[in-house]
Amino acid sequence: MAIHPTAIIDPAARIAADVQIGPWCRIGPDVTLKAGVQLASSVVVDGVTEVGSGTVIHPFSVIGGPPQHGGYKGEPTRLVIGENNLIREGSTFNRGTVQGAGVTVVGSNCMFMTGAHVGHDAVVGDRVTFANNATLGGHVTIGDGVFLGGLCAVHQWGRVGQGAMVGGLAAVTRDVIPYGSVWGNHARLHGLNMVGLKRRGFDRDRIKRMLAFYRDLFEGDGAFSERLDRAEAAAGDMDEAAEIVAFIRAGGSRPLCLPEV
């Protein structure tokens, strides 16, 4: 274990043998740092917080701070971070609340660029990218493989489905379908995340089928509920189309982000 002599570490903290802790870091008593974690310098890890193996945290980040919630009264809520995440300078991850699930959960293999914020009770999937200063309100759910552009903000209780892309500066006040692409203030749906689909290995024919599904659902005739039924029936064996339908039918606390008419 390599610990700089200026680091302040509570003796009750659970720290793996090969963890590296740089100058001026502070580690609380209920913290667990798993194998290979690296804290560069001036990092605070507090509360009931678990940081998964291989995660690297850069200076001035505060991980496991108390939730920014008016009803929080010091309850022992948690933050759980997965493996092999890169957390850049000045990022803030808050613990959960008893008004929510009591835990904030972050997946594995994510990148959080400078100033990223994960609000209380959020659930962040795997392979998610937060560009600089991307922000989540409380109780937000982010699916696997999502890209959040710089300075965007997702409203509390919002959902962003798997593989979606949120543009820079977007104010996301409505739920974003899986594989959707949204931007603007307030954000509107502007099609599918074509870059993301190609990176997932979609060939030209599969992309054409997804685009046809999107047009039938969001640009077709009739009421939206009717179009949803038709699009579902026409989706056939496209798992991603079925995922979009399931996301919409599941509903949430926020309305659905739709194209501008």
First vs last Cα of the chain: how many Å apart?
59
Known active-site residue 138: yes
Determine which one of 47, 107, 137, 138 is catalytic.
138
User: Angle, nearest 10°, between helix axes 224-234 and 204-219?
Assistant: 160
Report the alpha-carbon distance of residue 183 to residue 215 in Å, rounded: 18
Marked catalytic residue, from 58, 69, 117, 120: 120
Buried b (16+ CB within 10 A) or exposed e, 100-112: bbbbbbbbbbbeb
Distance set, CA 231 to CA 7, 32, 58, 119, 210 (Å): 57, 47, 45, 35, 11
Evaluated on CA atoms 168, 254, 178, 208, the torsion sign reads: negative
Residue of 30, 46, 121, 175 with catalytic role: 121
Q: Give the count of alpha carbons within 13 A of 46, CB side only.
A: 17
Whether 120 is a known active-site residue: answer yes
DSSP code of residue 116: -
Can 121 be counted among the known catalytic residues? Answer: yes
Catalytic residues: 120-121, 138
